[in-house]
Structure 1
Amino acid sequence: MEFNHADLFEGVADAVGTRTAVVCGDRRLTYAELDAHANRLAHHLRAAGVEPHRHVAIQLYNGVEYAAAILAALKIRAVPINVNYRYVEDELRYLFRDSDSVALVYDAEFDERIAAVLPDAPELRHLVAVGDSAVEGAVRYEDAVAAQSDARDFPPRSADDTYIIYTGGTTGMPKGVMWGMESMLRAFWNPTFPPPEKPEDVVELARSSGPMVMMPVAPLMHGAAQQATFISWCMGATVVYTRRFDAAEVWRTIERERVNSLTITGDAMAIPMADELARGGYDTSSLLAFVSTGAILTGTVRERVAALLPNTMILDRFGSTESGSTAEAVAGSAPEKGLRFTPDVPDIAVLDDALEPVRPGSGVIGQLARSGHIARGYYNDPEKTARTFPEAGGRRWLLTGDIATVEADGTISVFGRGSQAINTGGEKVFPEEVEAVLKGHPDVYDAVVTGIADERWGSRVAAVVQPAPGASPDPDRLDAHCRAHLSGYKVPRTYAFVPEMKRSPAGKADYRWARQVAENA
């Protein structure tokens, strides 16, 4: 057995085969059933000519098929490629070409877009459709699985096999983050449990763990949901999905499946979930942990969720697709009050401009970095890889892009993402802080802050605001609210009001779109 996610899943399936591995809607498969199902799909892909190290794109909503497609690719040492199901034709053309995908597993609902881009993606030569697809040459998923053996007769795998997670798209086209299997496992490992010394330790953890029920709420096309799934399987837990995000369906599922821990991504999911929970009628007594990862909860939202779930731990995890899960928010930390995190791993530092570690308590501001178990780099982009993963002091570092400093007690204060910082008259403004303050106003449902050109100051702070239901925010009142919590130079000078905020399916802000909206305002 290797530290390879396919090997580990197979070992867990052998150990706890009768436990439920995955649930979505009215479908549920045990570990043994999911393993056999994935074996059949793996045999189909191999018979279709998918060779080791080639790439299999997955353009699906959440479901059993998504989980099986990831496992099937890994079983034959192919590389699963996550596809954002919101992508339009130009974005799909880019992703299929950039990823060099040779096969695609997709929902038939995306027929029109896929048919339009196929002529421009010549390497994409095999299609497997979930549902009735009209795309020429597509094989029905059900037929593909039914026609194959469920035997586990695959060649040996390696702990160094590649896994790719495409991320980004809010400030530029997405990039494929490349990981080695063992490094990825260790980077995203649940810090509640000791890290495994050998692969068999993972199987023993699953065997000895109780029947936990975990729920990644984000779509599986998001790296956080994929990693939450793998870590849950390493614990022998049941993983529960909803096909798409709907707050009421999430709470109904939590009640029905007795979910113990759920993972969301920031305010974009927490706010509608809190709204729905406040309407009442849901049994949340099974829920032990409410975890946000990939996007930090603002203080007002966190306090509201905590009041609605008084017996549940509310946790903020800090990390990225390139770094894994690295730290946990200090109690009382929030974007509007100052973000402070306690590192989970020893390889975290803040590096200054010379790539030297910042001395704790010095007040020197630098860039948050991680060494050790980090991604290999970006697929098809050696220049970005070189910039983001430099070597210094005999170590290879990941520069996360987050601007931070180290406090005297070793905690890390994070000010914001450097690429989104607004330079207005020589002062730096981090959008996350201003967004958090705006979302604390009762008339504001959501807010994204960006910089737009200004003749006098170079850039001005601009806010795109989605009003709360039934509210009509007044710029003067928002201005007064912001000035009560922020220095004057951080206060938005331009407001644009929109009926609905544009975010990724995982809740990430679309800053390109916000900038265009603000400029038009």
Structure 2
Amino acid sequence: MPDTPPPQEPLGFADVAATTPDRTALIEPDGHSLTYGELNARVNQLAHALAALGLKTGDGVAAILPNSRHYFELRFATGRSGLYFIPISHHLTAAEIAYIVEDCEARVVVVDASLLGTAERALDEVGFRADGRIVVGAAAGWVGYEDFLREQPTTPPEQPRSGSIMMYTSGTTGRPKGVRRQLPEGPPQVTETELNLTRPLGIFPGHEVQLAAAPLYHGAPGVFANAGLNFGHTIVIAQRPTPEEWLRLIDRHKVSITFTVPTVLHRLLRLPEEVRGRYDTSSLRSLVHGAAPCPAEVKRAAIDWLGPVVHEFYAATEGPATTATAREWLARPGTVGRPLRGIEVRVVDAAGNTLPAGETGTVYYSPSYEFEYFKDTEKTANSMKDGLFTVGDIGYLDEDGWLFLCDRRTDLILSGGVNVYPAEVEAVLLAHPDVADAAVIGVPDAEWGQRVAAVVQPEAGVPAGDELAGRLTEHCRTQLAAFKIPRSMTFTGRLPRTAMGKVRRHELRTAATPHDE
């Protein structure tokens, strides 16, 4: 796999638009498409409109949107205006949205009309300015997005200045925090971080087609789609496609690159073979997954089906760390890769001592750019050690420097003084044909401190109850040590997961009393 992009291809959204303005940039869910020239003109209009509203370098623009062209217009307009772009999940409550809008100090909030109810309650709660409320569509008391742009010139800003995206952490343990980077000096350009992440995954400038099906308001899907437009790709936008629709889009548009999460891979693999066989996926060159642990059986089955194109990376909202191609993973099953160029990865014990290869501890790695948790110097300081930072993941490095993750520190179960990693138990449960989804948590136990509990979503048509619990327990006994086997089991119609596939474990811990063996 080459590690440098073809030199003849333009690099950077503005350069692609100037060089190949008629190339298709976006294909929207309804089939409407925009060329690079058309998209660039709208980005310029939006940049002028934000300036006319009085926004200055360092100000913030928040957005509550489904996957749509408006996300890209906002990201690139803020990116050439010296502004911070803050995408917000539309699945949050009004109180959660209000917190982020107020915390990030946004001057403008752009909302899709279909999501107006919750968003409007949130903005009212914090007394947000009327002239900064922009709606995609129409709503009384709001400024229409198209009206906001209409009278503005399509020429670039006179002095383009790099902006940045400010993502908020998932907030699974406490309030989410904004990850804020210093704005680069000068006009926008493709960063070394962007290139260092995409090159090892086989993603380069050129005539590629990328499917953006995961929620763009999350970090990783936005990163890869944004890189795609900087590289001259055509981005096919999808909104919450079913597994079969996902395959249909790949077949129809001859998609070569996409990002997804392990839960989607699992659901694709559970489609009947005759359904999977209807669609041609041979155009795929790089299917990248991340954001959550991928069970080894799911990864291996995906490679067997799609070929050695199923690559992965390890990163956090704070920045990327490692990559692993399919072939690298097959040589070292379970690895999340080797560090990116310029990134140091270190595993340390509770006292902060660096651990030797093979020993498990907290994973730290060097940031690819300076950042702070916005308005939280204590959290920033606590996450750093000797210039490296951690998000609390637990893992180890092998003798050759390949990283293996065990779980999150906050998810670790300590039962009778022994560590149990939920991801390991979940992988075993997910391998059973009767299981559609599964999560493992620790629940209080008077004798052991914590005991292992499983929450299982059965496959459609599989009855929940004692019989299923017994089959799953026997299945676990064949692959897990006794102390790792779930001592209790709850069945549910659907597990609470974020749009990026992360289990909301705090919700599970307050669920109904488990069904005991």
Within a 5 Å distance, the mapping from 1:35-184 to structure 2 comes to 35-125=40-130, 126-134=132-140, 136=141, 138-158=142-162, 161-180=163-182
Change in Cα spacing, 1:190 to 1:216, as seen in structure 2 (3 Å) is farther
User: Does the CA-based 8 Å contact 1:187-1:326 persist in structure 2?
Assistant: no
Distance in 2, Cα, partners of 1:302 & 1:194: 18
2:461 alignment partner in structure 1:
470
Q: Offset at 1:520?
A: 6.4
1:221 aligns with 2:223: no
Alignment size in residue pairs:
490
Q: Offset at 1:42?
A: 1.7
Change in Cα spacing, 1:333 to 1:471, as seen in structure 2 (3 Å) is farther
Distance in 2, Cα, partners of 1:62 & 1:165: 16
User: Does the CA-based 8 Å contact 2:367-2:389 persist in structure 1?
Assistant: no
| Aligned partner of 1:384 among 374, 379, 388 | 379
Q: Secondary structure at the match of 1:331?
A: helix
Q: Which amino acid aligns with 1:379?
A: F
Q: Secondary structure at the match of 2:166?
A: strand
Q: Secondary structure at the match of 1:451?
A: strand
Within a 5 Å distance, the mapping from 1:190-339 to structure 2 comes to 190-191=196-197, 193=199, 209-266=205-262, 268-276=263-271, 278=273, 279=275, 280-309=277-306, 311=307, 313-328=309-324, 330-332=328-330, 338-339=334-335
Distance in 1, Cα, partners of 2:156 & 2:127: 31
Q: Which amino acid aligns with 1:163?
A: I
Distance in 2, Cα, partners of 1:277 & 1:342: 35
Q: Offset at 1:84?
A: 0.7
Moved more, 350-359 or 162-171: 350-359
* CA deviation vs aligned residue, 1:40-59 (integer Å, no higher than 9, x gap): 11222222232221111110
User: Does the CA-based 8 Å contact 2:321-2:345 persist in structure 1?
Assistant: no
2:365 alignment partner in structure 1:
370
* CA deviation vs aligned residue, 1:400-437 (integer Å, no higher than 9, x gap): 31212222232223221112101111111111111111
How does the TM-score come out when normalised to structure 1? 0.87
* Residue segments in structure 1 that go unaligned for 5+ positions in a row: 1-6, 196-204
Q: Secondary structure at the match of 1:44?
A: helix
1:432 aligns with 2:434: no
Q: Secondary structure at the match of 1:58?
A: strand
Q: Secondary structure at the match of 2:259?
A: strand
Q: Offset at 1:147?
A: 2.4
Distance in 2, Cα, partners of 1:460 & 1:426: 11
Q: Which amino acid aligns with 2:296?
A: G
User: Does the CA-based 8 Å contact 1:502-1:510 persist in structure 2?
Assistant: yes
| Aligned partner of 1:516 among 504, 510, 513 | 510
Change in Cα spacing, 1:189 to 1:488, as seen in structure 2 (3 Å) is farther
2:7 alignment partner in structure 1:
none
User: Does the CA-based 8 Å contact 1:217-1:241 persist in structure 2?
Assistant: yes
Q: Offset at 1:93?
A: 1.6
Distance in 1, Cα, partners of 2:65 & 2:272: 28
Q: Offset at 1:466?
A: 0.7
Change in Cα spacing, 1:62 to 1:127, as seen in structure 2 (3 Å) is same
Distance in 1, Cα, partners of 2:65 & 2:212: 16
Q: Which amino acid aligns with 2:265?
A: A
Distance in 2, Cα, partners of 1:476 & 1:520: 14
Distance in 2, Cα, partners of 1:77 & 1:261: 30
User: Does the CA-based 8 Å contact 2:207-2:232 persist in structure 1?
Assistant: yes
| Aligned partner of 1:14 among 15, 18, 24 | 18
Q: Offset at 1:305?
A: 2.4
Distance in 2, Cα, partners of 1:486 & 1:181: 49
* CA deviation vs aligned residue, 1:50-71 (integer Å, no higher than 9, x gap): 2221111110000111110111
* CA deviation vs aligned residue, 1:147-196 (integer Å, no higher than 9, x gap): 221111242425xx54311121333332211234669943343556499x
Distance in 1, Cα, partners of 2:240 & 2:129: 26
Within a 5 Å distance, the mapping from 1:410-425 to structure 2 comes to 410-425=401-416
* Residue segments in structure 2 that go unaligned for 5+ positions in a row: 1-10
Q: Which amino acid aligns with 2:381?
A: A
Moved more, 181-190 or 337-346: 181-190
Q: Secondary structure at the match of 2:393?
A: strand
Distance in 1, Cα, partners of 2:149 & 2:122: 26
Q: State the identity %.
A: 31
Q: Offset at 1:518?
A: 5.7
Distance in 2, Cα, partners of 1:504 & 1:146: 36
1:505 aligns with 2:510: no
Distance in 1, Cα, partners of 2:514 & 2:124: 36
| Aligned partner of 1:491 among 469, 485, 491 | 485
How does the TM-score come out when normalised to structure 2? 0.88
User: CA RMSD, aligned part only?
Assistant: 2.6
Q: Offset at 1:88?
A: 1.2
Change in Cα spacing, 1:498 to 1:421, as seen in structure 2 (3 Å) is same
Q: Offset at 1:506?
A: 1.8
Distance in 1, Cα, partners of 2:457 & 2:95: 28
